[in-house]
Structure 1
Amino acid sequence: MKHRLKTLLGAAAVIIASTLSAHAETVLKWAHVYETSEPFHTDSVWAAGEIAKRTNGRYKIDVYPASQLGKEADINQGLKLGTVDIIISGSSFAARDYKPIGVTYYPYIFRDASHLIAYTKSDIFKRLAKGYEDKTGNHIAAVTYYGTRHTTSNKPISKCADLQGVKMRVPDVPAYLAMPRACGANTTPIAFAEVYLALQNGTVDAQENPLTTIEAKKFYEVQKNIVLTGHIVDHLNTLFSKKLWTSLSDEDKKIFSDVAQEASVRSSKTIDAREKELVDEFKKKGLTVTEVDKADFLKNVVEKVKLEEFGYEKADWEAIRAIK
C-alpha cells in the first residue's frame, strides 16, 4: 500500500511539473522575408534554439521565413500591433517611423562592412536607435551586414556620368534612388521578382544589388558588366516588439540581446566571406568586373541630392563618416 501511494504521489508530481512547465512556456513569433537558404534565416533558427536553451525552455520561438507572415511592410506593422514579436528588417522601414535613422542609407556613408559594424557600437548608433525606440517602443537588438550594393549593366560603366540616360531598376525607396538619379539614370521601380525578366527583355538596362543577390537571382546571366559602385553598405535590424521587450525581465533582456547579437555576427561573417569569393567567380563566368572611382560618384550625390530632403541630419552623416 505504502509503495503504491509513493508511486501515485510520484506520478502526480510529474503531471504537476509538466503542467507548470507547459504553462511557463511562452511561444513567440519571429518573422522575416528571406529565403530558408539564406543566413538571415538559418541564424534566426539558431537564435531561436539558443534562446530556448538559455531560458531553460521558458520561451519557444517559431521562425516564419520567406514572407509567410507578410511582406516587410506587413511584418513591421505586425510588430507595432504586437501580432509579431521579433522581425528582421531594414532601416528604411524603421525610418518610416523615425526619419533620422534612415541616414545609414545615404550613399557612401559607410566605407565597408567593418565601418558599418563599428557604427553599431558607436554613440551615434545608440542615439539613433534610442530615437527610434522612443518613437515606437520597439527595440533594435542587433544589426546584421546585408551586403554592399553594386551595379550591373549592359554597357561598361567606369564613372558616374556613364549612367546618364541608362534605364535602371532601383527599389522604390528614396535613399536607394539617390545615387542613380545623381548620375542621370532613368530609374524604374520594378517588383523584385520581375527584375530578371526586365533585364532579359530590355525593359531596363541596369540594376543594383549586393553581389550575393546578383548570384542568388542569377542576374549575371542577363548582364555583361558588374560595376563595383559600392554605393550603399546595406544592413538589417533585429527588432523586438514593444510588447515583448517590456514583458522581459532584465535577465531575459540580456539573454535575448546577447543571442540576437551573436546571430548577427554569424550572418555578417557569412555574407562578407561570400562577397569576397564572388568577384573572382563572376570573372570566371566571363563577366567584366569594373572598379570605379567612388569619390566621383559621392561628389555627384552630395552636390545633387541633399540629405536634408530625406529628413536626415547632416551632423549624423558627419558623425558616422568620422567613425574609424
Structure 2
Amino acid sequence: MKKMILFVAGIGLAVCLTACSGESKPVAESTEKTGESITNESSADKENAEVVLQVAIENSASEPVGQGFKKAQELIDEKSNGEVAIELYPDSQLGDKSSLIDSMLLGENVCVLADGAFYADYGVPDFGIVFGPFLFDSWEQCWTLIESDWYQEQCAKLEEKGLKILASNWIYGERHTLTTEPVNSVEDLAGMKIRVPSNEIQSIGFDVLGAASTGMALGDVYQALQTKTIDGAENPLGTLYGRKLHEIAKYLILDGHVKNFTTLVCSAEWFDSLTKDQQDWLTETMVEAGEFNNGVYEKADAEYLDLMKSEGVTVVEPTEEQLEAFKEKAAPFYEMGDKFGWSDGLYKTVREAMGE
C-alpha cells in the first residue's frame, strides 16, 4: 500500500463509539504560552509506516488530551506493528479547527478533536444540541447518549457529509468561565465579551446567558485578553491553565455550563481508503486512548484548580440556587430549534436518549 501523504495547502465512538468510528516533515516549536519545547514525533518510524495520521489539536501537549494522544501513539504502534503511525501537532501548529475540518473534506489524512457544535455547522444540525448549555447533569448521561440509536444516526449522517468519527468517549472537561472582572452570578455576565469557539451553537449558547460571545481561535485568546479585546474565555480548567490565560484573567466561576465529551474526527474518504485491519487498529486505539485520557483528566482537574488558586485566581463555586439561575437563563436556548434547523421535538428525544 502506498504511503499516504498529507498535502496542507493554504491552511495555515465500538460502531459509533468504536466505529462511528501520508506524511509531513516533523516540526519543532517552542511555545511561549506553555513554556515547553515540542517536537512532533510519530508513533512509529514514519519512513516505515504505510499510513500516517496527523492529529492536530489546539491544546498543549501537557494537557490531558495531549497525554491521551501520546498514549494513542504507543497503542497504534503496538497494534499495527509499525504499519500505522500517528503524528501529534499541538498548539494549533497546523491551523485552526475549522480549516482542518475543511481539509478533511478534501480527503487529507488529518484528525482533530471536535464536537457536536461544529458538526451542526457541517450539515448535521441536530448534532449541535449536545453542546447546549446545561444539557447534561452527569457524565453518565453523556455515555448513555453516545451509545444510543439517536447518536449513531447522527454519526452516520456526518459520515455522509464526509467526516468520520473515530471515537466519542473522550472527556474534554467541564467548561467553566474565566474573566478579567468578578462574576459571582449569571447576572454578572451581562454584556461581557466572552471568547467561545467559532460556531453558532456555542455562540448563542453563551449569548442566552447574557454575555456577548466572541468567536475566536484558541491560539488568539491570550493576546485578546492582554489587549482587552475580550473580557474572558470559557473552557475546561486544563485548557484555561494550559494556555496560561489565568495570568491575565484572575476570576473563575465554576459554572460547568457544558459537560464536554469530545470526538475524534477524520476524513471519511481517507478512512475508507484504509484496509479493514488499519481501520480497526485506529478505532480501537482511539477508544482505548480515550479511556486513558479520562483517567488523566479526573486527577488533573483538581490539580489545575489548586494551581490556579495558588497563582492568584479568585474562584467562585456557585451554590445550587445560583446554578439553577444559570439553568433558567439557559432554558430559552432549547426553544430555538427552528433557528438551528433541529428536528421537531429534538430536546425531548435527546433527553430520553440520555436515559431521562
Shared fold per TM-score greater than 0.5: yes
TM-score normalised to the size of structure 2? Answer: 0.73
Paired position in structure 2 for 1:71: 96
Corresponding residue for residue 306 of structure 1: 335
Whether the 8 Å contact between 1:163 and 1:183 is mirrored in structure 2 is: yes
How many residues are matched? 302
Bigger Cα displacement from structure 2, 152-161 vs 194-203: 194-203
Once the two structures are superposed, residues 30-86 of structure 1 have per-residue CA deviations (whole angstroms, 9 ceiling, x without a partner) of 231233333434433432442233233333444444444432223212222222154
- Find the counterpart in structure 1 of residue 76 from structure 2: 51
Residues 64 and 238, structure 2, Cα contact 8 Å, conserved in 1: no
Question: Is there any run of 5+ residues in structure 1 with no aligned partner, and where?
Answer: 1-21
Which SS does the other structure have where 2:198 is aligned?
coil
The residue type equivalent to 1:28 in the other structure is V
CA RMSD of aligned residues (A): 2.9
Higher Cα radius of gyration: 1
CA 1:253–1:300 in 2, change beyond 3 Å: closer, same or farther? same
Stretches of 4+ aligned residues off by more than 6 angstroms: none
1:183–1:172 distance in 2 versus 1, CA, 3 Å:
same
Tell whether the 8 Å contact from 1:51 to 1:256 is kept in structure 2 after alignment.
Answer: yes
Structure 1 match to 2:212: 186
Name the residue aligned to 2:199: 173
How far did residue 227 of structure 1 move? 0.7
- List aligned pairs for 1:171-250, cutoff 5 A: 171-250=197-276
| Offset of residue 225 of structure 1 | 2.0
What residue in structure 2 maps to residue 321 of structure 1? 351
The separation in 2 between residues aligned to 1:289 and 1:250, in whole angstroms, is 49
The whole-number CA distance in structure 2 between the counterparts of 1:65 and 1:208 is 19
Per the alignment, do residues 263 and 303 of structure 1 end up closer, same or farther by CA in structure 2, a change over 3 Å counting?
A: same
Higher mean C-alpha displacement, 193-202 vs 258-267 = 193-202
Q: Deviations over 1:283-307 (max 9, x none)?
A: 3444332233332222222226634
Structure number with higher helix proportion: 1
**Range moving further from structure 2, 220-229 or 44-53:** 44-53
Q: Distance in 2 between matches of 1:45 and 1:90?
A: 21
Matched, 1:96 2:121: yes
Alignment-mate amino acid for residue 180 of structure 1: F
Whole-Å separation in 1 of the counterparts to 2:333 and 2:350:
21
Q: Contact 1:124 / 1:316 at 8 angstroms: preserved in 2?
A: no
How far apart are 1:190 and its partner, in Å?
Answer: 4.9
Q: Which moved more, 1:267-276 or 1:193-202?
A: 193-202
CA contact (8 A) 1:147 1:272 kept: no
Structure 1 residues 277 and 64, CA gap change in structure 2 (3 angstroms): closer
Alignment-derived partner of residue 136 in structure 2? 110
Letter of the structure 1 residue corresponding to residue 351 of structure 2: R
3-state SS of 2:105 partner: helix
Q: Helix, strand or coil for the counterpart of 1:81? A: coil
SS at structure 2 position matched to 1:299: helix
Q: 1:23 to 1:200 in 2, by over 3 A?
A: closer
Matches of 1:125 and 1:222, distance apart in 2: 39
Gaps of 5+ in 2: 1-45
Question: Identity of aligned pairs, percent?
Answer: 26
